[in-house]
Amino acid sequence: MDQGAEHAGDREDLKSKGLSRNTLGLLGGTVIGVSTVAPAYSLTATLGPSVGEAGLRMPAVFLAGFVPILLVAFAYRELNKVLPDCGTSFAWSVKAFGPSTGWMCGWGLLMASVVVLSNLAGVAASFLYLFLGEVAGNPDLTDLNDNKAVHVLTTLAFIAAATVISYRGITVTEWLQSVLVGLQLAVLALFIVMAISTAGEEPGALDFSWSWLDPFGVGSFTAFTAGVTLSMFMYWGWDSCLTVNEESVGSERTPGRAALLSVVIILCTYLLVAVAAQMYAGIGTEGTGLGNPETSDNVFAALAYPVMGSGTGVLLFVAVLTSAASSLQTTFIPVARTALAMSTYKALPATFAVVHPRFRSPARATVAAAVVTGSFYTLMTLVSENVLLDTVFALGLMISFYYGITAFACVWFFRGELRRSPGSLLMKGVLPGLGGLMLAGVFLRTMRDSWEPSYGSGSSVAGVGSVFVIGVGLLLLGAVIMLLMRRRSPEFFRGEVLHRATPPLTLED
C-alpha cells in the first residue's frame, strides 16, 4: 500500500487551524531554523563552559551532541511527511502513545521554549549595554547591566518587542530573520578567517590537532554528558521550521528538508568557530584562554578585539546582540504554535486557539508565552545569581525529554512499516530509535548529576542543585497541570479528540 494512502486518514485528522497557508519556502524555513538556534549567541555562551567540561575535546563534544540531534531530525522528517501539524512533537506523540504521554511531550516543548526565551532576552539585554558601553567608550553604560532593576526592565522590553513582531505574523518574521541571520553568519565567517590566520600571536595559541574531534578523549563520562548537555542547548531550535509546517509551501516535505539543512549549517559553523577559537586562544585559564572562568560566560567579548581588531571587533558584539534578539523573536514560533495545537485539540484551555483574523498568527498564545517568559525570568533573576548558566543546563533536561519521546514516537508510529524495506527500517526505526536511546541516557545521567549543587553554576535550593530544581521542577509542574486539565477536558484524555483513528475537533468544526 502507498504510504501516502495508508496515512491519509491521519492527515485528514490534522486540519488547518487558521494559520496562513503556503507562505514559507525552503529558504524561509531554513532561516527560521538557524535563527532560533542563534549560533553567535550560543557560541559565546557555551564555548567557555564546554572547555571547562571537555578541555581540548570541546569540538568533539559539539560533534557528539550533534549525533542525537541529527537522528531525531530524521524522525521529525518522517513524521512530518504524514502528519504535518504545527503541534509537531505533541500531535505526533499523542498519535503514537496516547494523550497523557503526548501532553507531557508538548509540555516539555513549551517549557523548553520558555526557558530559552527568558535566557535569550537576558543575554540580549546584557549585550545591549555591553555594546553601548563599547561604542560610547563609557564603562558606566556597561555597568548599567549590573543593576538588577535596569536589567530586568530591559529584558522585559526585549520580550515585548519580540512579541509584537511575532504577533504580526510569519511574513514579517521571515523578512526580518533573513537579514539578521545573514549578518551573524557573515560576522562569524569573518571571525573564523581572522582567528585562524592570526593563530600563534597569543601566548596560549595551539596548532590544530585531529584529536580535538575525538570524543573518547574526554576525561570522564560525567564531563562528557555535561558537555553534550551544553551542546544540546546549542543545537536547540532547528525544529522551529517544523512548527511552521502548516504555513509552508509543500507542508509534507519542505519543513523536513529545512530542518536537515539547518542542522548541517549549524554543525559546520560550530565546528569551524570552535577550532578557530581554540587555535587562537587555547584553553588556558588566564587572559584570552577559553578556560578563563572570568570570561567563560561571554567568550566573544574577550576575543572580539584581539582577533578582529578595534575597527571590526565591534561587529562581533553586534552579531551576538542581533543573534539573541532575532532568536528571541523566532522562539515564539514553536511555543505559540504548540500551544495553539494543544488548545485546538482541547489539551489546553480554548483561549489559546484564537488566531488573529488579519495577521493569521496565534495571537493569544503568543501573548501568553510572553507573560510566562517575563514572569519566569524575573523570578529566576531574584532567586539565582547564575540564572543564565543554570537555565542553559536545565534546558538540556527539557530538550532530551521531548526530543527523546518524539524519536521513540517515530519508531512506534511506523512499527508496521519497518519490515517493508531496508530504507524504512533505517529511517523510521534504527536511526530515530538510536537517537531516542541516546537522549534517554543523557536525560537520566543529567538528572543524576544535577542533583548535586556542584553541577552547573554551583547554586542550590535546600541542598539540591538549581539545575535539577529548574528542569525536574518544570516537568513536575506539567504533571500537576495535566491532572487539572484531565478534569477540565476529559474528552481529550479519553482519546476522543486526537487519536490515530479518530478525527479531531478543530477550529473549523
List pLDDT tens digits, range 140-162. Answer: 888 888 888 998 999 999 999 88
Residues sharing a CB contact under 8 Å with residue 384, sequence separation 6 or more, in sequence order: 390, 457, 459, 466
What pLDDT score was predicted for residue 329?
75
Cα–Cα distances (Å) from 150 to 50, 121, 147, 158, 318, in that order, read 30, 13, 5, 12, 21
pLDDT at 502 over 70: no
Question: In whole angstroms, what is the distance from residue 430 CA to residue 434 CA?
Answer: 6
Report how far Cα 239 is from the mean position of its chain's Cα atoms: 8
Is the separation of the CB atoms in 413 and 81 below 8 Å?
Answer: no
What pLDDT shows up at residue 45? 80
Distances (CA, A) of 126 to 151, 154, 320, 384, 458: 7, 9, 10, 16, 22
Note the pTM of the prediction, 2 decimals.
0.83
**DSSP result, 22-91:** S-B-HHHHHHHHHHHH-HHHHHHHHHHHHHHHHGGGHHHHHHHHHHHHHHHHHHHHHHHHH---TTTHHH
Selected residue with higher pLDDT from 230 and 400: 400
Q: Does 202 have pLDDT greater than 90?
A: no
Q: Which residue has the cell 509584537?
A: 164
Higher pLDDT, 287 or 223: 287
* Of residues 45, 184, 47, 179, the one with CA closest to residue 122: 45
Q: How far apart are CA 168 and CA 473, in angstroms?
A: 33
List of residues 6+ apart from 278 with CB closer than 8 A: 51, 56, 58, 59, 206, 212, 290
pLDDT value at residue 388:
64
| Helices within 139-220 (DSSP H only) | 139-143, 148-167, 170-197
Q: What mean pLDDT is predicted for residues 302-317?
A: 86
Q: How confident is the model at residue 192 (pLDDT cuts 50, 70, 90)?
A: very high
Q: Specify whether the CB–CB gap between 420 and 414 falls below 8 A.
A: no
What single-letter DSSP state applies at residue 503?
P
Per mean pLDDT, which range of 8-17, 338-347, 442-451 is the poorest? 8-17
- Taking the C-alpha atoms of 413, 415, 420 and 422 in order, what is their torsion angle to the nearest 10 degrees? 90
| Model confidence at 477: pLDDT above 90 | yes
Q: What is the CA radius of gyration of the chain?
A: 22
Ranking 103-107, 115-119, 493-497 by mean pLDDT, the lowest is 115-119
pLDDT band at 506 (very low <50, low <70, confident <90, very high): very low
**Cα(259)–Cα(271) distance, integer angstroms:** 19
Question: Cell numbers at residue 409, please?
Answer: 514516537
Residue 10, pLDDT above cutoff 50 = no
Instruction: Measure the CA–CA gap between 222 and 407, rounded to whole angstroms.
Output: 24
**C-alpha grid cell for residue 198?**
592570526
- Summarize pLDDT for 404-460 with one digit per residue, the tens: 999 999 999 999 999 999 999 999 999 999 999 999 998 998 888 888 888 766 777
pLDDT value at residue 4:
42
Beta strands 460-461; 464-465: pairing state: antiparallel
What is the per-residue pLDDT for 331?
Answer: 80
pLDDT above 90 covers a percentage of the chain that reads 29
CB 260, CB 77: distance < 8 Å: yes
Note the pLDDT tens digit of each residue in 46-91: 888 888 888 899 999 888 888 888 899 899 989 988 888 888 999 9
Residue-level pLDDT at 110 = 92
Q: Cα–chain-centroid distance for residue 474?
A: 16
- Contact between 246 and 232 (Cβ < 8 Å): no
